[in-house]
Amino acid sequence: MPPNSARRSAPRAATAALLGVLALLAACLTAVATVATAVPAAAAGLTQVTSFGSNPGNLAMYEYAPANLPAGAPVVVALHGCTQTASDYFADSGWQKYADMWGFALVFPQTSSANNSLSCFSWFDSTKDTRGKGEAASVVSMVGKAVSQYGSDSHRVYVTGLSAGGGMTADLLADYPDVFAGGSVDSGLPSQCATTQSQASSCQYSPVSDTPAQWGDKVRSSDPGYNGPWPRVAIWQGTSDYTVVPANGTELRDQWTNVWGISQTPSGTQSLPGGTTLTTYNDATGKPAVELYSISGMGHGLAVDPGSATEQCGATGAYFLDTICSSYYTARFWGLDGSNPGGGTGTLPAPAGLRVTGTTDTTAALSWTAVSGAASYTVYRGGTRVGSTTSASYTDTGLTAGTAYTYTVAAVDSSGTTGASSAPVTATTTGSGGGTPKCFTDNNYNQVAAGRAHQTSGTVYANGSNQNMGLWNVFVTHTLKETSDGYYVIADSGCAA
């Protein structure tokens, strides 16, 4: 955000509002002074790329990718908020956890006080946030670099951002719908809500009375002649945000549903953890094109939920608020967990309790808790549909011995509409897979030292499979099976060499 972007209490009178603004301006300037003395992007595993192509926006590029990232993996671009750095966003947002878990690359653009006094991305400046210009063009250069470097799928590039980074995210989706398959605007603003800094405060603090069609026109005029497909957009907004008022979430909803040519009437509503209400807006095929997450009582910041469960992520701090893991739900909405992009309609919940009940050298048996209202279930292996069943169990066949496979399951209603996908599980077939597997039982510290695993930010992951082994210490012990050269899977339940 431009000046006055720190979180503040709701004003009750004009005098209180003025005093609050002055106090927050002082707080923001203090924060800038602190940031200026820090060494940016020092988090473990985050690497700066000093040459990535055209950089008219004077941005810095940082990146992260899990070990052994396969070709064709997605890329997620994550934009920090004001007074923050790429390192802050990497450390606290939770995106690294899902990059490791589901296999994709991360790009963290970073602006500085040389561009904006509060290190904000310039979402309100038409010389910097439009197609082919300034910061927007620099971010797209970073995307090109990452896609080339990692051999990534150029059709699965996504962008997310907080606050000013959220405003820039909306602009990037409008400027480059041919580059980004989806976006997530967290406590941000509609695309082209402001075109000068003097207009920015009006967008932040009070509703703008544009119609959905007028909001949609701002997107369509950002890349004239483009007719789709349009990015799928998630919108995250706290109901007690007084820096970017909640009306911005509604305006973003109006903007992107109009771009998609769909109704502003929800296709479904769902209650989620952290006092969160999810409303979905489906495209013509029944998949969510736009999702609006409204978090009751949350102020200005990114929603996180520290913890070790699959759906938990991040760390609390300034503008990282303990409510719900937005990165988890956003990643699933985009299909990064191996499910279909769009994540289903939300009318049927994700099947719970997905587990592996048995394996042979060529099969993997799965079961899960039945979903009320489900007519059938679709089973995905590595993100590809492999079968359908009317029961809450399935056996996948024709597999390779000694190989790890990742599965998710989604419920399908009587109309054939697919709901949200489950959390993934990994099944490892028995046998050697063409060679004799070796088994290694040791603590996590020694597994890393021996080259069978690696650690990132204090968490250990098996080389090859990237399975989470827990904390990097001598107190946690696992058995690893080497199913092929340099590829290890957790085999605590038994490892037949």
Query: Rounded to an integer, what distance in angstroms lies between the CA atom of residue 47 and that of residue 41?
Result: 8
Whether 247 and 300 share a structural domain: yes
pLDDT band at residue 68, thresholds of 50, 70 and 90? Answer: confident
Contacts of 493 (CB under 8 A, 6+ apart): none
CB atoms within 10 A of CB 207: 13
Last residue of one domain, picked from the residues 428, 455, 480: 428
State the CATH number of the domain containing residue 264: 3.40.50.1820
| Tally of structural domains, the chain | 3
Measured torsion, CA atoms of residues 321, 459, 474, 430, in degrees rounded to the nearest 10: 130
**Active-site positions?**
163
Both tokens of 497, joined, read 């060499």
Query: Rounded to an integer, what distance in angstroms lies between the CA atom of residue 198 and that of residue 205?
Result: 13
The average pLDDT across 229-248 equals: 95
The average pLDDT across 436-440 equals: 77
pLDDT, tens digit, for every residue of 293-344? 999 999 999 999 999 999 999 999 999 999 999 999 999 999 998 766 654 4
Closest among 231, 323, 238, 343 to 280, alpha carbons compared: 343
Whether 386 and 464 share a structural domain: no
Whether 270 and 139 share a structural domain: yes
Whether 414 and 366 share a structural domain: yes
- Across 26-35, 377-386, 477-486, which has the greatest mean pLDDT? 477-486
pLDDT, tens digit, for every residue of 339-369? 666 544 346 777 888 999 999 888 999 999 9
Whether 314 and 365 share a structural domain: no
What are residue 113's phi and psi, to 5 degrees?
Answer: -70, -15
Last residue of one domain, picked from the residues 428, 454, 482: 428
pTM as predicted:
0.64
Residue 32 lies in a domain: no
Residue 163 lies in a domain: yes
Give the structural domain span for 473.
438-490
Instruction: Please tell me the predicted confidence (pLDDT) of residue 119.
Output: 93
